[in-house]
Chains A and B, each alone.
Chain A
Amino acid sequence: MDSMVQYLVTGLTVGSIYALMAIGFVAIYNITGILNFAQGEFAMIGALSCVSFVNWGLPMVAAIPAAVMLTALIGFIIERTAIFPVRNRSVITLIVITIGLSTFIKGIGLIIWGTSPHTLQPVVKAEPIKLFGAVINPQSLFIFLTVLVLLVILYVFFDKTFIGSALKASEKNPRAASLMGINTSSMSALSFTLAAALGAIAGIMIAPLTDATYEMGFLIGLKGFVAMVIGGVNNIPGAVVGGLLLGVIESFSGGLISTFYSDAIAFGILLLILFFKPTGLFSKAAGERV
């Protein structure tokens, strides 16, 4: 019983990270029609640049926003230079371009930060908490809290601000949105910037638990992608639930079956979902994407 609670907590922690990545995917995919295979690299840049800022003597409270802003800026630059000019090309070309971006950024990360893993001190320095027999790392609580706050901010942003509603309109129907005077070009840039910032936060959150390396982005990105597919590609709440679900599935299959095969199980489930319900578990519109 105790270990069950433990698995659940671990799963939700990792799942929150996946959820953040998945939100970034959803934002970019629905506005630009692109699945950004470089999304995971934003997590890498966020985590490693945060490490560097801390090493330069910046306090954590300043290092985190600085790293997030830097990553967001990089996201913006990438969109302007390599995505926007080619947005009308074939899907395959766009996939390969984002793969190229991912490889390129990873290489830059390698040159700057080398191959060795870097540790990031947890934000909250406290003893692990015991709850229902499970040991909860304070960092986990911090992650939950951050994700929760971010979700509230995103909700307010999408629902209560003009830019947010414009973004949502561009998601639903780019043509109509542009007819209504919403600048879809800046929406595309905004979606990349937002996704980069979310990715950076995800990377910074997970780094104290797993260490950060130049290679960390790929798998995190892929998991975010999986979370998005589980949740249904066109809704943010779905993506969040998808991320949490993926984290929990991984954690339980790791604990009950084998940690070695937990990734294989996660991707196996992905294949099953793609096969039986390619629109995701929580999407209302069926068969739209065929």
Chain B
Amino acid sequence: MRRFNGVLHGQLWRPLLVLAAIVLLLPWFIPTPYIFTILILIGIYSLITIGLSLLLGYAGQISLGHAAFFGIGAYVSGILTAKYAISPWLAMVIGVIVTWVISYAVGMAILRLKGHFLALATMAVNIIFYILILGLDEWTGGASGLVGIPGLSLFQLNLGQPLYFYFFVWSIVLVVIVFSTNIVRSSIGRVLRSIHDSEIATEMLGVNVAKYKVAIFSLSAVYASLAGSLYAHFISFIAPPSFYITFSILLLVMVMVGGVHSIWGAVLGTAIIMFLNEWIRYIGQTYFQISGQVEIVVYGFIIIVVMMFMPKGLVDVFERLWRKIASARIKEVEKRKIAAERGDLA
């Protein structure tokens, strides 16, 4: 049974251990708090992209509106803690519940749409949310943003400390990866992939396709909400531009560049795009004296090239490389065996 699980779904523990090791070791090599901030943001954004990978890569449903769910988490946490002094943990849970209810309702309404029209509908949801947080300034602070969101602390441990927060965020990422991989490695994962391949056949096999689509849409929204709460407590200040469609698009790009068919691809893509982003900004400012959003040229270019020539994303490239190395190693071993046998004969 165990072996058959491996055959069916690939390995979980080995890549998970590798990631855990990287997370544990990285702080020793980090020179600046600035890079620490980026690593924490990668963790936070990975939560969203993992959810998107389930939705997009497994169930085949596109969303260009997840910045809105990220925003719901951030604003519920922000408002409840900064204005009403409610416990951040309770606020986080409330954020998740609110997001779940909203995303469930939204999902029921729009997930019958396909492809382009689903993309448009999710964008519309995102735009409406953006306008609402701008407009409801009594609560949200409107365009000037919401300030004074307290940091998190856990059992007297001040998570405001970047190192602690870093470990905290990445442990959540690991838990979410295990949870999501468990889903993928169960009959639910099969249902999601079968929806991707043929909805009518899946339906004919007794699966309420709409129910599953909405469930996975809400799950991914809840991940985004969780990420939003963490983001609000980490940055301690939130403003509408962070929750506009541009961020939804960035998330989609992360997932697609990393490799949409794998949860690991989501994490990889998030890390690559984040570092690329910083790197381009750095090069642009130091060598070309350009500021603003010039990095979007490079972004755009990378998206186009990756989608045209590596539609399965970078994780696929890495996997193939790994397989090549592995098979070369096996061949090497066999060669030696043959050589040894020949030696015996001689």
Contacts and interface: CB of A to CB of B under 8 A. Distances in A.
Given A92-B62, A264-B131, A274 B117 contact: yes
Given A225-B120, A229-B120, A267 B297 contact: no
Nearest to A100: B303
A101 B128 contact: no
Contacts of B123: 222
Interface in B227-270: 249, 252-253, 256, 260
B110 A275 contact: yes
A285 interface: no
A270 B122 CA distance: 11
Q: How would you classify the secondary structure of chain B's contact residues: helix, strand, loop or mixed? A: helix
A149 interface: no
A186 B127 CA distance: 36
Interface string A219-253: 00010011001000000000000000000000000
Contacts, number: 134
A91 B116 contact: yes
A174 B60 CA distance: 26
B300 interface: yes
Given A86-B308, A99-B252, A274-B113, A104 B300 contact: yes
B237 to A, nearest CB: 23
B10 interface: no
Interface string B145-182: 00000000000000000000000000000000000000
Contact of B119 (A95, A97, A105, A114): A95
B300 A107 contact: yes
A132 interface: no
A97 B303 contact: yes
A90 to B, nearest CB: 8
A161 interface: no
B259 to A, nearest CB: 12
A263 B131 contact: yes
A115 interface: yes
A121 interface: no
Interface stretch (B1-9, B216-224, B288-296): B288-296
B50 to A, nearest CB: 17
A101 B116 contact: no
Chain B contact patch, size range: 35 or more
A268 B298 CA distance: 33
A220 to B, nearest CB: 14
Contacts of A56: none
Most B C-beta atoms less than 10 A away, residue of A107, A226, A229: A107
A110 B300 contact: no
Contacts of B298: 107
A270 B124 contact: yes
Contact of B113 (A260, A264, A278): A278
A108 interface: yes
B16 interface: no
Contacts of A268: 124, 128
A115 to B, nearest CB: 5
Interface string A248-290: 0000000000001101100110110011001000000000010
A225 B304 CA distance: 21
B311 interface: yes
Given A99-B303, A271-B121, A82 B297 contact: no
Given A261-B135, A271-B125, A103 B109 contact: no
Contacts of B299: 100, 103-104, 107
A35 interface: yes
Interface in A18-47: 29, 35
Contacts of A86: 307-308
A261 B296 contact: no
Given A93-B307, A100-B307, A274-B120, 15 more contacts: A29-B116, A90-B311, A92-B56, A93-B311, A101-B300, A103-B249, A106-B300, A107-B298, A110-B296, A226-B120, A264-B127, A271-B121, A274-B113, A275-B109, A278-B117
- Listed from nearest, the 7 A-B pairs whose CB atoms lie closest are A104-B300, A107-B297, A100-B303, A103-B300, A91-B115, A35-B116, A267-B124
Interface of A: 29, 35, 82, 85-86, 89-93, 95-97, 99-108, 110-111, 114-115, 222, 225-226, 229, 260-261, 263-264, 267-268, 270-271, 274-275, 278, 289
23 contacts: A82-B304, A86-B308, A92-B56, A92-B260, A96-B252, A96-B256, A96-B303, A96-B307, A100-B300, A100-B304, A103-B297, A103-B303, A104-B303, A106-B296, A110-B293, A110-B296, A110-B297, A111-B294, A264-B131, A270-B121, A274-B124, A275-B109, A278-B113
